[in-house]
Amino acid sequence: MIKTPPSSVDVVLPCLDEAEALPWVLERIPPGWRAIVVDNGSTDGSPDIARDLDAHVVHEPRRGFGAACHAGLTAATADVVCFCDCDASLDPGLLPTVAGPVLDGTADLVMGRRRPTVRGAWPVHARVANLELARLVRRRTSLDLRDLGPMRAARREALLALGLTDRRSGYPLQMVVRAADDGWRVVETDVPYLPRTGRSKVTGTWRGSWQAVRDMRTVLAEQSATATAAVVGAGIDGGAR
């Protein structure tokens, strides 16, 4: 029997009520790559639409952007995994450019830096908050990042080894901070940012924005795992002497 080779790249698409955006998003998945749509309790028929469009659908009962992303990562089998929002604000057709440096081994994590195409693609408050977040991340990690966007690519096993624990809005930030702490080569590449289709679940709402700020604060307050291990190690050594 001929076995189908596992797809080279899996694309994780967190999805909460994105029925309107799904067709546009899924038809742009690069040929041969696998779309993993992680449904997080949609009530608008998103999972059925995704299945009809040949996506692999995963259900994550626990709400939260991070819960959905992580369920997708856990379900992935390809060597390289991309993440992309499922709201038609980012074109999955650009993913080969984003994943390129990971596939050719010149980077460990590639982040799409969002460049709005039109006024209104990115609400001002969200943009300002993101700029501030990028500044804090530069200070915390010494990575020269300008954005913390959702479009990214990295190796699956390396991502799993980061042991990410955030399951809400801090997930993408925790990924970057832990990757930096582990010495990953992290690079940024520009990606056009379009006005999303449908209603925003995170930064378009006060509740979502507030929760995002709280989650991100928690992640930034986390001690570097390596630094903590060094301190603990020093403590144990000191105690033995």
Ligand X SMILES: Nc1nc2c(ncn2[C@@H]2O[C@H](COP(=O)(O)OP(=O)(O)O)[C@@H](O)[C@H]2O)c(=O)[nH]1
Residues at the interface with Mg ion (CB under 5 A): 85, 87, 89, 196
What is the residue type of 147? D
Q: Residue 44 Cβ, how far from Mg ion at the closest point, in Å?
A: 16
Q: CB under 5 to 8 A by kind: which of Mg ion, ligand X, none does 174 bind?
A: none
Q: Residue 213 Cβ, how far from ligand X at the closest point, in Å?
A: 12
Between 10 and 18, name the residue whose CB sits nearer to ligand X. Answer: 18
Q: CB under 5 to 8 A by kind: which of Mg ion, ligand X, none does 18 bind?
A: ligand X
Between 144 and 190, name the residue whose CB sits nearer to ligand X. Answer: 190
Q: Residue 192 Cβ, how far from ligand X at the closest point, in Å?
A: 14
Between 15 and 82, name the residue whose CB sits nearer to ligand X. Answer: 15
Q: CB under 5 to 8 A by kind: which of ligand X, Mg ion, none does 16 bind?
A: ligand X
> The tokens of 136 are what?
């804090």
Q: Residue 167 Cβ, how far from ligand X at the closest point, in Å?
A: 9
Q: Residue 187 Cβ, how far from ligand X at the closest point, in Å?
A: 22
Cβ within 8 Å of residue 125, ≥6 positions away: 203, 209
Between 107 and 134, name the residue whose CB sits nearer to ligand X. Answer: 134
Q: CB under 5 to 8 A by kind: which of ligand X, Mg ion, none does 86 bind?
A: ligand X
- Binding stretches for ligand X (CB under 6 A): 14-16, 18, 38, 40, 63-65, 68, 85-87, 196, 200-204
Cβ within 8 Å of residue 177, ≥6 positions away: 137, 140, 141, 219, 220, 222, 224
